[in-house]
Amino acid sequence: MRTVQFQNQAGVTVTWRPVSDRTEEILQRFPPSWYGRSTRFIPWPDSPRHVCFVAEMFHHAENGRTWTVATRHAMGRVEAWGEMETQETASIQRLYQALGLPGNVSREPGEAIPIERDGVAIQWLPLDDRTGDVLKAYAIPEYEVRTELHFWPGIKRQIWFRATLVHHTDGGAAEQVIASSHAAGLISHCKDLEIIETRAIQRLYGALGLGGEIFDPDEDRDRAGVGAVFPWDEPLAPGQSGSMDKNQMVDILTNLVAV
């Protein structure tokens, strides 16, 4: 395994596994005779300089049927030559995360990170580790975690994602929805699209009983930060925290699943 090290914006040293190295392992785990990878360009409404890519992995079954087994999205603004390719690569990076091969390998898999929020000590298990648990419980190609991008009608830069766990049955001829979840937000920065997609995935994992106690800023930015407004939002009393505790999150997820 080849890795490189660099410092992120917070000054923390990160050990990173390049996409080219992970591609070799992807081809071993998902041989081209049975699997295919594709990227699609999605034009951005009312903004010709913004580009969005969706990266997909397909399974080619013996019976001749083909279906998707994973999807992820990435968005960017094209100001110079080469930036469109950068965003395509970003979507592939996220697809590899969905397939259990993240780029950040700075710590041991399964290692919980002790953090503190609102004076409460929490053992936080990052999303990549929970993705591994999902892939073990719902293995490819019979199961798929699918994400779908939707543009909010009549509101510029407002989007929403639906994340769905799908069970492919009858040799790919049919599919059953096991669980689904949603997240919405306003695109203020290009990274917001990935954050909103990840929030939908976080909520899906919660519906499957694999929710984290808390999510780091890169995984789940505060809802106010992306301009998202949800039906359960209520005005905060003076001095009241805007963050949700675990019981509130469980109640919300339970209501979503019930719907």
pLDDT tens-place string over residues 172-231: 999 999 999 999 999 988 889 999 999 999 899 989 988 755 444 444 444 344 343 433
Residue 114: the pLDDT is 79
Concatenated DSSP letters for 167-191?
Answer: EEEGGGTEEEEEEEEEEEEE-SSTH
- Spatial separation of the C-alpha atoms in residues 66 and 219, rounded to whole Å: 31
- Spatial separation of the C-alpha atoms in residues 146 and 259, rounded to whole Å: 19
Helix axes 191-207 and 246-258, enclosed angle (nearest 10): 80
- Spatial separation of the C-alpha atoms in residues 193 and 53, rounded to whole Å: 11
Ramachandran quadrant class, 194 (left: phi over 0; alpha: psi -120 to 50; beta: rest): alpha
Taking residues 80-108, report their average pLDDT. Answer: 91
Residue 233: the pLDDT is 39
Residue 9: the pLDDT is 77
pLDDT tens-place string over residues 73-83: 999 988 888 88
- Spatial separation of the C-alpha atoms in residues 77 and 47, rounded to whole Å: 9
Residue 146: the pLDDT is 97
Concatenated DSSP letters for 241-255?
Answer: --S--HHHHHHHHHH
- Spatial separation of the C-alpha atoms in residues 235 and 244, rounded to whole Å: 13
- Spatial separation of the C-alpha atoms in residues 137 and 134, rounded to whole Å: 5
Percent of all residues in the chain with a pLDDT value above 70, rounded to a whole number:
81
Residue 119: the pLDDT is 76
pLDDT tens-place string over residues 124-171: 778 888 999 999 999 999 999 999 999 988 888 899 999 999 999 999
Does residue 37 sit in helix, strand or coil? strand
For the chain, what is the mean pLDDT?
A: 82
Taking residues 44-70, report their average pLDDT. Answer: 93
Residue 39 near residue 91, CB atoms below 8 Å: yes
pLDDT tens-place string over residues 183-195: 999 998 888 999 9
Residue 39 near residue 25, CB atoms below 8 Å: no
Residue 189: the pLDDT is 86
Does residue 36 register a pLDDT over 90?
A: yes
Taking residues 241-251, report their average pLDDT. Answer: 45
Half-sphere exposure in the Cβ direction for 181 (13 Å, CA): 24
At 250, the pLDDT band (50, 70, 90 cuts) reads very low
Residue 212: the pLDDT is 58
At 107, the pLDDT band (50, 70, 90 cuts) reads confident
Residue 49: the pLDDT is 85
